[in-house]
Every structure is written in structure tokens, then in C-alpha cells.
Structure 1
């Protein structure tokens, strides 16, 4: 089996390699080979020189969108997209039998995507990605990029760091600034109040559960009922549970199903 990985971030590439190794653990190592490209230029060269059983691809590469690569080179192999962009943008992929893994993903998420590829391809239900779908997704991504905050500048004693909005699990108000818990459970400070931050975030991903806390739907692990029409929420990599207010519970339930 020959696999192409299109991913610009080294840690993300390493995670994909680890997931592949775990998935194919019962297969001879020599029978599963992979190539890696971080740019459209390198990806185009590999696709012209090799044949692949399937492709694992991020949306954003170092020199542009992977969609631009798929516009240049006709792709017959199934594509599994691995990205932090909201899954609702990729409904067209699902109708074409193309799997999608939303970052941050688990080994189980990865396994389900590979299983989907294998079952659809064996049944002959897979259709190649066409130009109409690519163009529609490019338009949706452009609209998303101009509407919502993509990253925040974090000032540390060691310098300035960037925190992607998709890596934010929980935001808690603390006076005129906010404490942010990221996907690894680390704490950061953003020098803005909660209201300003909330207005910049994608409402399909983030919800203000009470006067002082905002949660990211991708990091909700468990929800349980609490007294006075409130809900207790468990967040990934965060020990303390957070709670909806009685006035936000109804809206929160509707948001979960939207």
C-alpha cells in the first residue's frame, strides 16, 4: 500500500504517521509505504511520479491550499482530509464518499476514516473529487476566513506566541482579560474581555455557557444534568467541570444540535 501525506506542520505529520502505524500494526511494515509533501510544488511532483492507494491531506499547505493541487493534477485515489476547519464546510465531501477528520482527532477518529475509505472503495461507491466541489469549498473557506478570528497573539515572558482559535478549549473571564485553556490543558492570558473575544469567534464552534465562560464544542467530553436546570460539562485535558447558567441551558442544548 502506498500513501501520500500532504501536511505542512511537522507535529501533525508525525501524528499521522503514528496513527498509520497503529492502524496497520498487524500488517508487514514493508507493505505500507508513505511519501510526505509540505507544499503544492512537492505534492504535484510526487503525484506525477507515483500512484497512491489513498491520500491524507490538510487543507492549508506552506504555499497555498491543497485544493489548488487537486485542480492541477487529476486524482483517482480517495482523499481523507485532516484539518481544523469546521466539518459543516465539507458536506460536499461526504456526499462524494470522501472522509474527513476534524483536528484534534483521536486514533479512533482516524480508524473510522480509514474504514470508511476501505468500505466505500471496495464497494465502488467512491467518486473522484471534482472541480465544482473544489470551487464551492474554496468559496466557503474564503467566507470563513473573513468572518472569524483565526488566531490570537499571546504575550509571554519569553516572547510572543500565536494560539490558533481551533486549539482553544475553554475561555474564562478574569477582570479585563481572559484565561484560555488550550487543547493540551495549558493556560494562556489574552488581554481582552470575554465579550470582545466572543464576538470574534465562530458561533458554530464556541458557546458562552454563563457570564464568565466560553466552551469549544470540539473539546466537550461529557455533559450531565445538574440542579436548577443547569448542565455540568467536562472539557478535554481540564480537570474542573464547567456549568451552564439556568438562563443559557436551553440555548446551549439547541446549539449542540445545530
Structure 2
């Protein structure tokens, strides 16, 4: 059965992996487009309300949480959420007929979610889908959970030191090692990946700039235009490598900075 899928995901690598996984599972699946955030999703859905059959939607996006999309435009299609929320929240989705894929996902999980979609459409998705007002309340409830990390316990010499998340200017990864640089220009090694950090940090304060950097809002000093429609972010403390925002992520970055 031919199927048009919309992917709403702010991490390009994750979105591409999901696209390839969907098409490997079923060659009849076509990805209509990949959208990086709330603003882009609202705009596309308003212009193309019937141009997809199913939506894969990350909960935490670069410019906000996905519940904001439902506040600004009606969504008739079934939604499969891509999430790292706790079991209680996941069970809430499941009881209400909204499926989820827990990051990091695999082909088996994606296949299970697609099978549930087919069962819903076979019985009439419009009758089985969760009413939008109930879904909005559910997502707002998830937003209210105190899920964002407040501090890190880091190794320093022969000690363990607590470092507040709000004191970190940026995170940087190279050779599979993640370092956190504080606003006072102190470097610490963090035993997490950038993908894990992205799920745990407050998206109002931190932005995933690219594959190597997550930056905090108050560390940004200025933003310059760069080659090929990219942006160059300058921070204090400064970074050793250039912190570049790709052309595709520029709208999400601007929306985040303007929030």
C-alpha cells in the first residue's frame, strides 16, 4: 500500500536514518518531506493538510515542543511520536491509541509502529485517532514534567564535582568524547553523547547547532553570515572549531533565538 510519511525531527542524521529505515521496511513508503521544527511544521501542514498519511514526530524540537504544532494547526493524520520520555508517559500514549518509538530506535520498533498504523487505517483511522483536544492536554502534561537535567557530576582530577547545567556554555564532541565548557572557561569530560544531552537539556536554553556542538543561549555573543547560506556562531568562551549552523537549520535557529 502506497504511503506518504511526514518526518518532523530536528536532528538531520536521525531524520535520514529514519527515512532509510522506513523505505527499507516497505518500498511503498515515500517521505513527503523532513521538517526541523515547530514553525516549519505549522507552515507546511497549513499549506499541505492532506499531503501525508502518517506523521513521525519528535517531541522535543529545536524551537519548542511538538504540542505547539497542535495548538497552531489541526492535524488529521495519525501521529507516531519519537520520544525519550519515561515509561509513564509512554504508557499514556499507548492507552490513548497514539504510538511511540523510543530513541534510539531500531527496525523492529519502526515495523511495530507501522503495523499499528495499518491496523488503525484498516478499521478507520478517523474513528480511532485520539481527539486533538485530548492529545493537546496529554502533551501539555508531558511538558510540565520536570524532565530537564539540572546538573552534572563530573570527574576532575581525583574528585567528583557538581556542575550546574546553566553554567555550561557549550558541549563539544570529537573522537566520540564529549566535553562541556563552562561560562568560566573550564573544560570537563561528560559521559554522555550529544544525542543523549539533547534529550535531557532544556530546549529553551540549549540548541543543537550541528553534529559537534550544543550551545547555550547566554553564551552566544554574535552570529555572522557564512559561506553557502550558513551562520557562524561566536561564543564566550570561544570554541576552538567553528560553530556553524547549516542552511537547513537556520530557520529553526532563528526561531529559537527569537523565542
TM-score range, shorter chain: 0.5 to 0.7
Q: Which residue of 2 aligns with 1:131?
A: 133
Counterpart Cα distance in 2 of 1:41 and 1:108: 31
TM-score normalised by length of structure 2: 0.54
Q: What secondary structure does 2:52 align onto?
A: coil
How do 1:214-233 residues align onto structure 2 when only pairs under 5 Å count? none
Q: Which residue of 1 aligns with 2:74?
A: 74
Q: What secondary structure does 1:13 align onto?
A: helix
Counterpart Cα distance in 2 of 1:158 and 1:166: 11
> 1:154/1:92 Cα in 2 relative to 1: closer, same or farther (>3 Å)?
same
Q: Which residue of 1 aligns with 2:38?
A: 40
Higher relative contact order (CA 8 A, sep 6+): 2
Q: Is the contact between residue 98 and residue 117 of structure 1 (CA under 8 Å) also seen in structure 2? A: no
Q: What secondary structure does 1:145 align onto?
A: coil
| Structure 1 position 87, deviation (Å) | 3.5
TM-score normalised by length of structure 1: 0.55
> 1:150/1:55 Cα in 2 relative to 1: closer, same or farther (>3 Å)?
farther
Q: What secondary structure does 1:143 align onto?
A: coil
> 1:119/1:154 Cα in 2 relative to 1: closer, same or farther (>3 Å)?
farther
Q: Which residue of 1 aligns with 2:9?
A: 7
| Structure 1 position 45, deviation (Å) | 1.3
Unmatched 5+ stretches in structure 1: 169-258
Q: Is the contact between residue 39 and residue 62 of structure 1 (CA under 8 Å) also seen in structure 2? A: yes
Q: Which residue of 2 aligns with 1:85?
A: 85
Unmatched 5+ stretches in structure 2: 157-172, 181-189, 198-259
Q: Is the contact between residue 75 and residue 129 of structure 1 (CA under 8 Å) also seen in structure 2? A: no
Provide the aligned C-alpha RMSD in A.
3.1
Question: Which ranges of 4 or more aligned residues in structure 1 deviate by more than 6 Å?
Answer: 150-158
